[in-house]
Amino acid sequence: MAGLPKECNAIPRGVRALHANITAVIPFPDIDPVAFRIGPLAVRWYGIAYLASFGVAWWLMRYRARRQALDWSESQISDLIFYAALGAVLGGRLGHVVFYNLSMYLSDPIAIFKIWEGGMSFHGGLIGVLIAMVIYAKTLGKDFFDVIDFLAPAVPPGLCFGRIANFINGELWGRPTDLPWGVIFPDPAAGGIPRHPSQLYEAFLEGVVLFCVLWIFSSKARPRGAVSGMFLLGYGLVRFVVEFAKVPEEPLGYLAFGWLTMGQALTVPMVMIGIWWIRNAYRRPREPIASVGTGRRS
């Protein structure tokens, strides 16, 4: 199997046989990363995923505000989405630059602005959104945790859309596998061997499962910080585990121990902060509790 990526030296037993019999794996779907074109403008699925993420989050927050009689107006929710989108895009791009390939971007600063070539970091986007929410909470006169507790349950569907777009783009694929749902990705760098569709693992766990957990958890009155803490904890645990099925991004590779990726290193603080927020939320019995019936604090 000459010419395969380095990590293919550790291909699981059985993958070589599957490589010779590609009908034993799932073929990569023939979906053009460009959804459609308007003249010279190419509209990509990844861009549509971002728009769908913000649109669904806006609808979910409006639905939740009405159903639970929360103290949020439609105009406030629309503004929240604007701030969150700005933070996610700017933070996501800068996070990718700083966390994953700083030396390259320092040598070619113009590349920082070439977003159409890809390169967004969830952890950078999260930091950007949190900063944006600090600013927005001050403009509203609301408590910071009131804002992010309201936003958190609406985030997972967007994570699902983004990971599906990663799959359509044939990027961020997983490690070699001999499991029957292994996928042969078309990128030559993937080596033409069955790999974990780790993007779909994340789409299901970060998107569907985490959404169900947060939606049910937030349906009852919770102390300030508990819902957002649950988001950090849930996402962090899922991301840490799924990283074991992923190929680390180049040029970083593994950071330590022959298995620790940048994604895992950045996720550990998320888990710790999530536990801390939940612990503090429930250790302060006098902390105001969200009343689902009135949307006010009492």
Whether the Cβ atoms of residue 257 and residue 222 lie closer than 8 Å to each other: no
In a domain, 106, yes or no: yes
Reported as a single tens digit per residue, the pLDDT across 228-286 is 999 999 999 999 999 999 998 887 888 889 899 999 999 999 999 999 999 999 997 65
For tokens 């600090």, the residue is 134
In a domain, 136, yes or no: yes
Q: Are strands 183-184 and 26-27 parallel, antiparallel or unpaired?
A: parallel
Confidence of residue 62 (pLDDT cuts 50, 70, 90): very high
Confidence of residue 3 (pLDDT cuts 50, 70, 90): very low
CA quadruple 227, 228, 234, 239: dihedral, nearest 10: 160
Total domains in the chain come to 1
Q: Tell me the average pLDDT of the chain.
A: 87
Size (the chain), residues:
298
Average pLDDT over residues 30-50: 90
Reported as a single tens digit per residue, the pLDDT across 10-36 is 555 544 444 445 445 788 888 898 999
In a domain, 122, yes or no: yes
Reported as a single tens digit per residue, the pLDDT across 107-164 is 888 888 877 667 889 999 999 999 999 999 999 999 999 999 999 999 999 999 999 9
In angstroms, the CA 223 to CA 133 distance is 18
In a domain, 120, yes or no: yes
pLDDT over threshold 60, residue 101: yes
Q: Per the structure block, which two tokens stand in for 290?
A: 């969200």
In angstroms, the CA 264 to CA 101 distance is 16
Give the dihedral sign, CA 57/60/66/69. negative
In a domain, 242, yes or no: no
Alpha-carbon separation of residue 118 from 24, 46, 47, 170, 211 (angstroms):
31, 9, 11, 12, 26
In a domain, 282, yes or no: no
pLDDT over threshold 70, residue 287: no
Q: What is the pLDDT of residue 113?
A: 84
In a domain, 289, yes or no: no
Confidence of residue 66 (pLDDT cuts 50, 70, 90): very high
Burial of 37 (0-12, 13-18, 19+ CB in 10 A): exposed
For tokens 């070619």, the residue is 108
Domain that includes residue 53, residue range: 45-224
pLDDT higher for 298 or 143? 143
Reported as a single tens digit per residue, the pLDDT across 191-236 is 999 999 999 999 999 999 999 999 999 999 999 999 999 999 999 9
Alpha-carbon separation of residue 37 from 43, 45, 51 (angstroms):
6, 11, 16
What angle separates helix 210-217 from helix 226-242, to the nearest 10 degrees?
170
Q: What is the pLDDT of residue 117?
A: 67
Q: What is the pLDDT of residue 158?
A: 96
Q: What is the pLDDT of residue 20?
A: 43
pLDDT over threshold 50, residue 289: no
Alpha-carbon separation of residue 171 from 26, 82, 111, 119, 287 (angstroms):
16, 28, 19, 11, 45
Confidence of residue 102 (pLDDT cuts 50, 70, 90): confident
User: What phi and psi, each to the nearest 5 degrees, are found at residue 258?
Assistant: 75, 10
Confidence of residue 69 (pLDDT cuts 50, 70, 90): confident
In a domain, 153, yes or no: yes
Average pLDDT over residues 281-297: 56
